[in-house]
Chains A and B, each alone.
Chain A
């Protein structure tokens, strides 16, 4: 028997936040995936919008490439506002 494909489920909560990954499920097609996601992931009013994406269509960064991918941002601490000392006399900034 062929197994139903895997879908990743994203839900937008009540308060205007972005869609957030909540889990996955198996369904034969996108429409059924949305219906099943409603039952599996929103039984307690968790969301106002559902996205489903076939898991096979997602490209993920490799854990082994963490260094080359994320190191450059570690080296640029001046991107954070706390890098700069502003005298208290200047007031809130």
Chain B
């Protein structure tokens, strides 16, 4: 899944009047598409921006397991259950690739967990919505993973080597997620009236939050210019949002479902779909912690971490004891 680039500290990155020779050389390398690697010199603001972006991305993958995990025990068939398990396991893997990439920048895993658990770090607002029916699992794969792919494919070319490489692995696996979701939606859309209504209801609830995943409109996205120059962000929020709408509306048509937006229709002149205004008040409410499931999600993560402490410590104590024993021999 992915990160929304919502700043937790509102102070913008300060631009000095004249860049130092080091900063100039750094930017020249980025302009020449030479990847930045962990031990290379980098501006402190670049490091901080990436730590925030990659760790938010990692947190999103990990928290993203929760809404889907809700349906593992209630999947309609054994096959669907096995598929959903594999998908949720992938999300855990994606979180781990990303935490490792962030750690190369000098933050520890425990520090990142602490930031998540204390509420200091954010994760994608989409995971604060509930999964009420089985169709929600279809809608998440199709829409939420679809939106994530839109964002992550360009990040494979981002300037920071470990992040770009993690993104390559993630993108390879993400396509399975979207297709399994669409497969669920197709089955329901071709099913009974009740099943079709369930699919439409899921689309109604997930459509707008999925569009919000691309982040605030470009006009309000004050930090974008620097991130673009550093190539840690490669497309603007509105650009990606439009691309997603253009790709997804025909897919809804194929299902015989309609997106919950009366203003959404193909503009013959531009060749793009026009669409209505997003409810940004709702978006900021969810980001600030007032979404339907914010408290539940965070509590689940904190409980998992605290309840697992004795186990982590036990394994470490065992490893220490064994290495002490083999040293003595």
Contacts and interface: CB of A to CB of B under 8 A. Distances in A.
A23 B97 contact: yes
A28 B93 contact: no
Contact of A63 (B40, B89, B313): B40
Interface in B131-174: 165-166, 169, 173
A10 B285 CA distance: 44
A43 interface: yes
Contact of B39 (A23, A40, A62): A62
Interface in B269-321: 309, 312-313, 315-316, 318-319
Interface in A4-58: 4, 6, 23-26, 28-29, 32, 39-40, 43-44
A28 to B, nearest CB: 4
Interface string B226-264: 000000000000000000000000000000000000000
A28 B319 contact: yes
Contact of A23 (B166, B316, B322): B166
A40 B173 CA distance: 12
Contacts of B323: 29
Q: How big is chain B's contact interface, by range?
A: 20 to 34
A28 B316 CA distance: 5
A60 interface: yes
B110 interface: yes
A4 B316 contact: yes
Contacts of B169: 23
Given A1-B110, A29-B322, A24 B100 contact: yes
B103 interface: yes
Interface of B: 37, 39-41, 86, 89-90, 93, 96-97, 100, 103, 108-110, 165-166, 169, 173, 309, 312-313, 315-316, 318-319, 322-323
13 contacts: A1-B313, A3-B108, A3-B110, A23-B100, A24-B100, A25-B96, A26-B109, A28-B315, A29-B315, A40-B96, A62-B39, A63-B37, A63-B39
